[in-house]
Structures are given as structure tokens and as C-alpha cells.
Structure 1
């Protein structure tokens, strides 16, 4: 006879455990302590087994019958319900262990050997600062579109629009890794494409050629106000027009004073190739003075506060701001200034200063980068550029030289 709710409710504990049977092997075990537990007795491969469904009344009579029927369906397919339950439990435990942070760190370590050290450092810093505190603890399968969107918007709120977009792109790669390794089924970060809006990227602020005399004069007027190394760094950047990151991390071991060359190693270059910077007499003079100032064993521009580190990437920018050029000039602006002035005033064709700038353009990825390309012309150009700036400093006017012979060459 099938059980009723009333019979389940009225069942009282006795001296020994006893069972109230329903149908299809389902029964309610009444323990002598008063507990009421649903069980299913079944046979699989000739062996009698039991499967627990939970306590009554948390699991109702109707729920217990549904669970029995589900188990019977598995048995009909020659599957053991107990084994299936263990596998599901194991899978859930594994899913809970597969947090976004755990998978992201695994993805990071897997890709780290193929990244430049600085890039790897930046990736980990972004994860630790902006991602892990928000979604890191959650199993990756439980994350939602809104959780990712809220995380990105939190970054945007502090004005870091481009960073917010990059973080979502990074999450997209992490989700793809999780899918490939069998721990996620859908890349929800991919669905957010286009939802993280960024402001149009503008050009770096740069003065024009006609403003060079004023800038040089302002720089010299601030000589006493700026730290000597900072003053020399601004001059060095103007003369070499390298990227800020390339300059501040320069090491003495990279300079060949006999050949008058600075060879920037591949890991600090955008194109991931060594780059030669010919050294003018003026640059060599700056380097000699820097050696006398600090005699640092490693860095050409060492940090003033941390002995084993290099100058901050904001040092030059802050110096330019102190000169009154906020919004008008940046460290990167020296590159645009040199490019336009060298072509316009020194008469060099575009390819020569462009090679010295080590520009990487779309479509050039497959082309072999020759660090010595136009090197003879670049060497001559760098000295002429330094002399040109010296002449401006002395005359305080933009020099318009006669370079017709070079143009015809």
C-alpha cells in the first residue's frame, strides 16, 4: 500500500529503527532518535544497493517519488544511480574549485613564457587590481554578463576607459582558455564586444617646429629648478627621440662608446627587435655627465628614491608640465617633433627618420626588421639634428638651412 502524507507525519520513533514502504523500492526510514529519512532500495548488476534522498519533510513524499522515478530511468539505461550521483558531486566540487582567479592564473602562467617581462607584469597587475577582487572568487561557470559589465564600468568610473576595454578583452582570452580546457562552455566576455565604449584615441601633444626656440629657452630657464638628472633626461629625449620607456630603462651595458651607438634590446622595443640609436657628440656629453653625477652600476637614469630601480615614466612629463607646457607637449611628443622638423628643415626623406623612430605599422609584421637600415644616413642625421638644436639654442630662431644637395641625392 502506498504511503500518504498523513502516515509520514504521524510516524513516531520506536525502540528500533523501522521502515514505511511506498512503492518501487522507496521507503521512509524512521530512526529511534526520531529522524525520518527517504531511501531507495534497488538492484544493479545483481547487487542490492540503497540510495538516500534526504530527510522528511524537507524532501516531501512527492519529491521523494520524483527522485525514485529519476533513479529508475537511469537503471533502465543500465546506469547505477549511486555512481551517477558521485560523479555529479565530484563535478560540482571541481566546478567550485574552478574559480575565475584559479583559471586566470593558470592561463597567465601558460602564456607568460611568450610575453615580454613588462607585459606579463602589467597583465598580472591588472588582474590583481581590477579583476580578482570583483569576480576572482566565483566559479567561472557562475559568472554572468552583468558581473563582467559591472567590473568594467567600475574601471571606467575612474576615467580608465581604454583599460576597461582591455580588461574585457583579457577576460575573453581567459574564458576561451577555460573552454579549451573543459571548464567552461560559453565565452560570455565575447558577448560584451562593443558594449565597452572608449573615447577616440588622440595624438600625443607636441609643439611645432616654430616653437622649438621658445621650448629650449624655457628648458634652460628651468635648469636650476629641475633636478640635474631630470634636466639632462629631457635634453636626452629631445636629442634621441626614443620612447619614454626605452629611455628610463636604459642600461650602461647597452652603450657602445667606441662605435657611438646605443643598442636597445628587443624586449624593450615594440617590434621586438634590437634597435640602434646613433649617438651624437651632444648625447655622449650628457651620458658622461650622468656617469659623473650618480655612477649607478646599472641604470643610466636611476631612481632618486630606489637604488635598484630606474627613473619613473612620469618624471619627464612632470618636468615638462613645470615648464608650463601641460597639454602642449609630452615625452612622446619629441618623436613627432623630430620627424616633422628633420624632414622639413634638414631635408631628409621620410624613410630615414621613420627608421630611426622604429615605427611598427600595420602590414609590416611579416617584413624582416633590419636594425641597420639606413644606418649611415641615420648616424649623420642624428648628429645634424643635435647640431641643429644647438644652433637654435644659440640663435633663438628656427634655422632654415640649404639642404638641396641631400634632396637630390
Structure 2
């Protein structure tokens, strides 16, 4: 006789496990501890087997019967329901291991040993911010070009065209990794770059006209923002090092009495091998640069960073100087642009030898094989360059 819901609810445990049959091989198993589970007894290939149909009360009598019906349908097709369930669990496990996020993190782990720390962190941050929220849980092989493009367009839509292309590159490399490890056959992201807006050319916007650059220097002097930001902008102009190197400057890297800023190799823009084994970059400090730093020292001297950010233990963002320039109305000049300005005007206006300037901005030799054989640093010439450049900025700073 079939069970009723009341009988299932009222079934009490005894000293031995009870089996309350419902029909069709299905029964409720009541253990001495009071546990209740649904089971199905069936024969397949001449052998008797048991299939679990769920735990009561999470699985009701009605639900257990439905599971039993589904198992009998498989038996009618010559399929063992126990084996079918095992195959389904394996399939689910494989699918979970082949989601975009899982494979992307696996790819990231495999590649990061050859990357710098900053690139490793930036790549992971891009995936977490711009890709995982929409693509992370999707099985990689289910992703098609239109779905990927929708996500890339979200990034592009906020004006981050370069980042959209970077994200496209990440997705494409994850697919290449999946293909190489036998978990995908095609790369649907490969050609998506053609549908994205074109990236801005490699040159960073920079003002190279002396009169207008002088006006910007005066505007920086009068900027009503944080004195830390003002000092950072002045150091950008005076030293023309990379934005990340300036924002991450520490007091321990400075010798203000000797007039040097020594940037550790690991903070330079270099391949990982050179970051570990390369020499530090020496930046001579002009009298004007030293004055800016000494004026800032009473404000931030008790911090590790010369330009500390609002968050404890962190330096200012590289975007801090960019935002300040925009606030001053200079959308055609970026923090990185100070390098181009110095490279152009020191050559055209001060007639400084280009090799000296290249070493000052931490570029290698421009000669063939120079990077391998030319170790000249032009330190004496660079000391003269930095002071001549600072003096020239003082001239430009004066109203015409």
C-alpha cells in the first residue's frame, strides 16, 4: 500500500532500521537515530541496486516519487540511474572547473612567475572588476563573441578604451590557454578588437610649447588643492620620471643633502629579470627639486611615502596628478607627458645631447646593441641637465 504524507511524518525510529515501502521499489528508510531517507530498489543487469532519492523532509513524498519515476524512465531506456547520476556529478564538477573565472585564475597563476608584481596585480584587478562579475560563472566553452563583446562595451562605455582592449587581450589569452590545455577548441575573442574603438596612439598628450608650458607651471603654483598634490606635480616637472615612480617615492630613497633620488630596480619599468638583478636608477636632484621636497618634509616626513595617500600605508594614486591637471583645465597634458615635454624641450631649447636625456628618463641606449654593451650613465652630464632644466623652468614660470 502506498504511503501517505501523514505516515511519513509520524514514522518513529526503533532499535533497528525500518523500511516503509511506497511501491515501485521506493521506500522510506528510518534509522534508529531518527533519520529518514528515500531509497529506490531496482535491478539492472541482473543485479539489485539501491538509489538514493533524497533526505526527508527536504525531499517530500511527492518529490521522492517524481525522482523514482525519472529513474524508471532511465531503466526503460537501458540506462543505470546510479551511473547516470555519477556521470552528472562528474559533468557538474568538470563544468565548475571550466568556468571562465576558474580558467582565468589558472592562466594567471601559470603566467605570473614571468611578470612583474605591478603587472600581476593590475591584470588580476582588471579581471575582478571588468570580467568576472559578468563572465566569471559562465562555462568557458559556452561563451560566444556577442556575449563577450557586451562586457567589453561596458568598459569602453565608461571611456576606458585602452582598458577595453586590455580586457579583450586577457579573454583571448585565457581561451588560448584553454585550447593549449585541451579544454577549448576555438578562441571567440580573437577578432573582437576590430569591433572596439581604436586605441589612442602610443604618445601621451604633452605640452611642448614653452609659453603654454610656463603658464601651466604658474597654474600649478596657484593650485588650491592638497599641498601634497602640488608638490607631486612640481616633482613631475622637475624630474620627469614615470608617474608610478614618482607617486611611490619614499623618503628612504632620497638623499637631500647629497642631491640624489635613488629608485630601486624593482620599482622601475623593466622586465622581471632586470627588476630583480638590475641596477637602481639614479636621479640627480636640482636645487629647486630639493627645495620642494624639504618644504613637504614637515608635512609627510613621518610617513614612508613622500606623497602618502588617504589610505594608511598607501601612496597617492597615479591618477591624482592627472585629476589635478584636468581640474586646472589641462586635458592635453598628462603626468606621463612631463617626460615628453622634457625630452622635447631639453633637446630643442637647451640643446642637451639626446643620449644624456635618454639616460635621464631611464631609457636604454638608442644605438644598435646599445642595451647590451653600452653601460654609460652620463651621471655628471645628467647632474648638469637637471639643474639647467630646473633653471629653465624658473624662466618659463615668469610671466612674459
TM-score for the superposition, normalised by structure 2 = 0.72
Partner of 2:211: 210
Q: Tell me if 1:300 matches 2:306.
A: yes
Give CA deviations for 1:97-145 in whole Å, capped at 9, x if unaligned. 2122122222223333433222222222211122111121122233223
**Secondary structure of 2:262 counterpart:** strand
Matched-pair contact (CA < 8 Å) for 2:365–2:371: no
Aligned counterparts of 1:211 and 1:388: Cα–Cα separation in 2: 14
1:167/1:369 CA distance change after superposition, 3 Å: farther
1:219/1:148 CA distance change after superposition, 3 Å: closer
Matched-pair contact (CA < 8 Å) for 1:171–1:189: yes
Matched-pair contact (CA < 8 Å) for 2:240–2:338: yes
Aligned counterparts of 1:261 and 1:107: Cα–Cα separation in 2: 41
Matched-pair contact (CA < 8 Å) for 1:205–1:329: yes
Aligned counterparts of 1:102 and 1:148: Cα–Cα separation in 2: 17
1:177/1:374 CA distance change after superposition, 3 Å: same
TM-score for the superposition, normalised by structure 1 = 0.71
Partner of 2:184: 184
1:299/1:364 CA distance change after superposition, 3 Å: farther
RMSD: 3.8
Partner of 2:10: none
Give CA deviations for 1:70-120 in whole Å, capped at 9, x if unaligned. x8xxxxxxxxx9998688446413322212212222222333343322222
1:214/1:153 CA distance change after superposition, 3 Å: closer
1:251 is displaced (CA, Å) by: 0.9
Aligned counterparts of 1:362 and 1:40: Cα–Cα separation in 2: 80
Aligned counterparts of 1:369 and 1:291: Cα–Cα separation in 2: 40
Task: Note the 1:219-230 alignment, pairs <5 A.
Answer: 219-220=220-221, 222=222, 225-230=224-229
Q: Tell me if 1:380 matches 2:381.
A: no
1:330/1:233 CA distance change after superposition, 3 Å: same
Task: Note the 1:14-29 alignment, pairs <5 A.
Answer: none
Q: Tell me if 1:281 matches 2:271.
A: no
Aligned counterparts of 1:182 and 1:363: Cα–Cα separation in 2: 44
**Secondary structure of 2:358 counterpart:** helix
Aligned counterparts of 2:242 and 2:70: Cα–Cα separation in 1: 72
Matched-pair contact (CA < 8 Å) for 1:206–1:328: yes
1:385 is displaced (CA, Å) by: 0.9
**Secondary structure of 2:195 counterpart:** coil
**Secondary structure of 1:337 counterpart:** helix
Q: Tell me if 1:271 matches 2:299.
A: no
Aligned counterparts of 1:391 and 1:170: Cα–Cα separation in 2: 47
Aligned counterparts of 1:209 and 1:169: Cα–Cα separation in 2: 39
Give CA deviations for 1:381-408 in whole Å, capped at 9, x if unaligned. 11111122223445x45xxxxxxxxxxx
1:162 is displaced (CA, Å) by: 2.2
Partner of 2:8: none
Aligned counterparts of 2:22 and 2:304: Cα–Cα separation in 1: 79
1:192/1:345 CA distance change after superposition, 3 Å: closer
1:248/1:372 CA distance change after superposition, 3 Å: farther
1:385/1:200 CA distance change after superposition, 3 Å: closer
Q: Tell me if 1:338 matches 2:351.
A: no
Aligned counterparts of 1:361 and 1:101: Cα–Cα separation in 2: 42
Partner of 1:169: 169
**Secondary structure of 1:347 counterpart:** coil
Between structure 1 and structure 2, the one with the greater Rg is: 1
Matched-pair contact (CA < 8 Å) for 2:355–2:365: no
**Secondary structure of 2:152 counterpart:** helix
**Secondary structure of 1:154 counterpart:** helix
1:126/1:209 CA distance change after superposition, 3 Å: same
1:156 is displaced (CA, Å) by: 2.0
**Secondary structure of 2:106 counterpart:** helix
Partner of 2:314: 309
Aligned counterparts of 2:133 and 2:376: Cα–Cα separation in 1: 47
Question: Which 5+ residue runs of structure 1 have no aligned equivalent?
Answer: 1-12, 14-30, 72-80, 398-409
1:60 is displaced (CA, Å) by: 9.2
Aligned counterparts of 2:367 and 2:380: Cα–Cα separation in 1: 26
Matched-pair contact (CA < 8 Å) for 2:210–2:396: no
